[in-house]
Amino acid sequence: MFESKFFLWLGMLFPLVFSAGPANIAMASLGGQFGLVKSMPFILGINLMVLLEAFAIGLGVGDFIKNYPVLFKYIKYAGSLYLIYLAYKLFYLSQANSKESKLNPPSFFDGVILQLLNIKVMTVIFVMFSQFLDINSNQILQVSILSFGICILTTCATISWAFVGASLSQKFMSKKSVKFQGYIFGTMLICVAFWMLF
Protein backbone atom coordinates (compact mmCIF):
# COMPACT_ATOMS: atom_id res chain seq x y z
CA MET A 1 0.00 0.00 0.00
CA PHE A 2 1.19 3.53 0.81
CA GLU A 3 4.35 2.48 2.68
CA SER A 4 5.90 1.23 -0.56
CA LYS A 5 5.22 4.58 -2.26
CA PHE A 6 6.33 6.87 0.58
CA PHE A 7 9.63 7.97 -0.99
CA LEU A 8 7.96 8.48 -4.36
CA TRP A 9 5.27 10.59 -2.60
CA LEU A 10 7.91 12.58 -0.72
CA GLY A 11 10.06 13.03 -3.82
CA MET A 12 7.12 14.41 -5.76
CA LEU A 13 5.57 16.61 -3.06
CA PHE A 14 8.63 17.96 -1.26
CA PRO A 15 9.75 20.28 -4.08
CA LEU A 16 6.16 21.33 -4.82
CA VAL A 17 5.38 22.19 -1.20
CA PHE A 18 8.71 23.83 -0.34
CA SER A 19 8.93 25.93 -3.54
CA ALA A 20 8.05 29.61 -3.55
CA GLY A 21 4.31 30.04 -3.62
CA PRO A 22 1.75 32.35 -2.02
CA ALA A 23 1.87 30.86 1.48
CA ASN A 24 5.65 30.38 1.56
CA ILE A 25 6.46 33.89 0.30
CA ALA A 26 3.95 35.32 2.78
CA MET A 27 5.60 33.28 5.55
CA ALA A 28 9.08 34.57 4.75
CA SER A 29 7.86 38.14 4.73
CA LEU A 30 5.79 37.79 7.89
CA GLY A 31 8.57 35.92 9.67
CA GLY A 32 10.88 38.78 8.75
CA GLN A 33 8.47 41.44 9.95
CA PHE A 34 7.02 39.80 13.07
CA GLY A 35 9.27 36.86 13.93
CA LEU A 36 8.50 33.15 14.00
CA VAL A 37 6.50 33.06 17.26
CA LYS A 38 4.12 35.88 16.32
CA SER A 39 3.59 34.26 12.90
CA MET A 40 2.43 30.95 14.44
CA PRO A 41 -1.33 31.74 14.44
CA PHE A 42 -1.08 32.51 10.72
CA ILE A 43 0.88 29.28 10.16
CA LEU A 44 -1.75 27.31 12.08
CA GLY A 45 -4.56 28.85 9.98
CA ILE A 46 -2.82 27.96 6.73
CA ASN A 47 -2.07 24.38 7.69
CA LEU A 48 -5.42 23.61 9.28
CA MET A 49 -7.00 24.63 5.97
CA VAL A 50 -4.53 22.42 4.06
CA LEU A 51 -5.70 19.48 6.18
CA LEU A 52 -9.40 20.29 5.69
CA GLU A 53 -8.97 20.89 1.94
CA ALA A 54 -7.09 17.62 1.55
CA PHE A 55 -9.82 15.68 3.35
CA ALA A 56 -12.54 17.41 1.32
CA ILE A 57 -10.80 16.81 -2.01
CA GLY A 58 -9.89 13.23 -1.10
CA LEU A 59 -13.45 12.43 -0.07
CA GLY A 60 -14.99 13.70 -3.29
CA VAL A 61 -15.44 17.46 -3.15
CA GLY A 62 -12.71 17.58 -5.78
CA ASP A 63 -15.09 15.99 -8.29
CA PHE A 64 -17.49 18.90 -7.78
CA ILE A 65 -14.70 21.44 -8.32
CA LYS A 66 -13.46 19.60 -11.44
CA ASN A 67 -16.97 19.86 -12.91
CA TYR A 68 -16.90 23.65 -12.44
CA PRO A 69 -13.48 24.83 -13.67
CA VAL A 70 -14.64 28.44 -13.65
CA LEU A 71 -14.57 28.17 -9.85
CA PHE A 72 -10.78 27.72 -10.02
CA LYS A 73 -10.52 30.90 -12.07
CA TYR A 74 -12.42 32.94 -9.45
CA ILE A 75 -10.40 31.44 -6.61
CA LYS A 76 -7.23 32.34 -8.50
CA TYR A 77 -8.36 35.96 -8.94
CA ALA A 78 -9.42 36.26 -5.31
CA GLY A 79 -6.11 34.75 -4.19
CA SER A 80 -4.17 37.26 -6.27
CA LEU A 81 -6.15 40.14 -4.80
CA TYR A 82 -5.54 38.85 -1.28
CA LEU A 83 -1.79 38.65 -1.93
CA ILE A 84 -1.83 42.23 -3.17
CA TYR A 85 -3.63 43.18 0.06
CA LEU A 86 -0.93 41.41 2.11
CA ALA A 87 1.74 43.21 0.07
CA TYR A 88 0.02 46.52 0.82
CA LYS A 89 0.14 45.67 4.53
CA LEU A 90 3.88 44.99 4.24
CA PHE A 91 4.47 48.27 2.42
CA TYR A 92 2.42 50.04 5.08
CA LEU A 93 4.34 48.25 7.82
CA SER A 94 7.59 49.43 6.28
CA GLN A 95 6.35 53.01 6.53
CA ALA A 96 4.99 52.40 10.04
CA ASN A 97 8.34 50.99 11.21
CA SER A 98 10.05 54.13 10.04
CA LYS A 99 7.61 56.12 12.22
CA GLU A 100 8.00 53.85 15.27
CA SER A 101 4.46 52.46 15.09
CA LYS A 102 3.46 48.82 14.82
CA LEU A 103 0.83 46.78 13.03
CA ASN A 104 -0.60 43.62 14.51
CA PRO A 105 0.80 40.36 13.16
CA PRO A 106 -1.49 38.39 10.87
CA SER A 107 -4.10 36.29 12.60
CA PHE A 108 -5.24 32.68 12.40
CA PHE A 109 -8.14 33.89 10.25
CA ASP A 110 -5.72 35.62 7.84
CA GLY A 111 -3.98 32.26 7.38
CA VAL A 112 -7.31 30.52 6.75
CA ILE A 113 -8.24 33.10 4.10
CA LEU A 114 -4.86 32.89 2.38
CA GLN A 115 -5.04 29.11 2.17
CA LEU A 116 -8.65 29.11 0.97
CA LEU A 117 -7.50 31.28 -1.92
CA ASN A 118 -4.23 29.42 -2.57
CA ILE A 119 -4.83 27.61 -5.83
CA LYS A 120 -1.27 26.20 -5.88
CA VAL A 121 -1.80 23.95 -2.86
CA MET A 122 -5.26 22.89 -4.04
CA THR A 123 -3.70 21.82 -7.34
CA VAL A 124 -0.92 19.95 -5.51
CA ILE A 125 -3.57 18.13 -3.44
CA PHE A 126 -5.47 17.12 -6.60
CA VAL A 127 -2.26 15.83 -8.16
CA MET A 128 -1.36 13.94 -4.97
CA PHE A 129 -4.68 12.11 -4.87
CA SER A 130 -4.64 11.39 -8.60
CA GLN A 131 -1.21 9.76 -8.26
CA PHE A 132 -1.39 8.01 -4.89
CA LEU A 133 -5.02 7.16 -4.08
CA ASP A 134 -5.68 3.48 -4.77
CA ILE A 135 -9.39 3.03 -5.43
CA ASN A 136 -9.13 -0.69 -4.62
CA SER A 137 -8.00 -0.07 -1.03
CA ASN A 138 -9.60 1.50 2.04
CA GLN A 139 -10.46 5.04 0.85
CA ILE A 140 -10.92 6.61 4.30
CA LEU A 141 -7.58 5.29 5.58
CA GLN A 142 -5.71 6.41 2.46
CA VAL A 143 -7.33 9.87 2.43
CA SER A 144 -6.46 10.25 6.12
CA ILE A 145 -2.82 9.22 5.62
CA LEU A 146 -2.35 11.42 2.56
CA SER A 147 -4.15 14.39 4.13
CA PHE A 148 -2.14 14.29 7.35
CA GLY A 149 1.03 13.69 5.33
CA ILE A 150 0.61 16.78 3.17
CA CYS A 151 -0.40 18.81 6.22
CA ILE A 152 2.82 17.81 8.01
CA LEU A 153 4.82 18.68 4.89
CA THR A 154 3.18 22.10 4.46
CA THR A 155 3.61 22.84 8.16
CA CYS A 156 7.34 22.11 7.87
CA ALA A 157 7.53 24.31 4.76
CA THR A 158 5.69 27.30 6.23
CA ILE A 159 7.66 27.15 9.48
CA SER A 160 10.92 26.87 7.52
CA TRP A 161 10.09 29.89 5.36
CA ALA A 162 9.03 31.94 8.42
CA PHE A 163 12.22 30.92 10.22
CA VAL A 164 14.37 32.00 7.27
CA GLY A 165 12.54 35.34 7.11
CA ALA A 166 12.94 35.84 10.87
CA SER A 167 16.63 34.87 10.74
CA LEU A 168 17.32 37.32 7.93
CA SER A 169 15.59 40.13 9.79
CA GLN A 170 17.72 39.44 12.89
CA LYS A 171 20.84 39.98 10.81
CA PHE A 172 19.53 43.27 9.43
CA MET A 173 17.90 45.09 12.33
CA SER A 174 18.37 48.75 11.36
CA LYS A 175 15.23 50.75 10.56
CA LYS A 176 16.45 51.19 7.01
CA SER A 177 16.97 47.42 6.60
CA VAL A 178 13.55 46.58 8.05
CA LYS A 179 11.92 49.10 5.71
CA PHE A 180 13.84 47.65 2.76
CA GLN A 181 12.80 44.08 3.71
CA GLY A 182 9.15 45.14 3.80
CA TYR A 183 9.45 46.55 0.29
CA ILE A 184 11.30 43.46 -0.99
CA PHE A 185 8.85 40.97 0.53
CA GLY A 186 5.86 43.08 -0.52
CA THR A 187 7.19 43.19 -4.07
CA MET A 188 7.69 39.41 -3.99
CA LEU A 189 4.04 38.94 -2.95
CA ILE A 190 2.89 41.18 -5.80
CA CYS A 191 5.02 39.16 -8.25
CA VAL A 192 3.46 35.91 -6.99
CA ALA A 193 -0.01 37.49 -7.27
CA PHE A 194 0.59 38.36 -10.93
CA TRP A 195 2.21 34.97 -11.59
CA MET A 196 -0.98 33.31 -10.28
CA LEU A 197 -3.03 35.17 -12.89
CA PHE A 198 -1.13 33.75 -15.85
Q: How confident is the model at residue 132 (pLDDT cuts 50, 70, 90)?
A: confident
pLDDT above 90: residue 196 = no
pLDDT above 90: residue 68 = no
Closest CA to 10 of 160, 149, 157, 129: 149
For residue 150, what are the contacts with CB-CB under 8 A and spacing of at least 6?
A: 13, 17, 50, 54, 124, 125, 128
Q: Are 142 and 133 in contact (CB under 8 A)?
A: yes
DSSP 137: S
Q: How confident is the model at residue 172 (pLDDT cuts 50, 70, 90)?
A: low
* Higher pLDDT pick, 196 / 104: 104
pLDDT above 90: residue 26 = no
φ and ψ at residue 61, rounded to 5 degrees: -60, -25
Output the pLDDT for position 161: 92
Q: Are 150 and 125 in contact (CB under 8 A)?
A: yes
pTM: 0.76
- Domains: count for the chain: 1
Q: What is the mean pLDDT of the chain?
A: 81
Query: Which of the listed ranges 39-53, 68-82, 112-126 does the model predict with the highest average pLDDT?
Result: 39-53
Residue range 15-20: average pLDDT? 86
Residue range 27-40: average pLDDT? 88
Q: How confident is the model at residue 32 (pLDDT cuts 50, 70, 90)?
A: confident
- Report, in angstroms and rounded to the nearest whole number, the Rg of the chain calculated over CA atoms: 18
DSSP 7-52: HHHHHHHHHHHHSS-HHHHHHHHHHHHH-HHHHHHHHHHHHHHHHH
Can you give the residue range of the structural domain that contains 24? 2-31+38-197
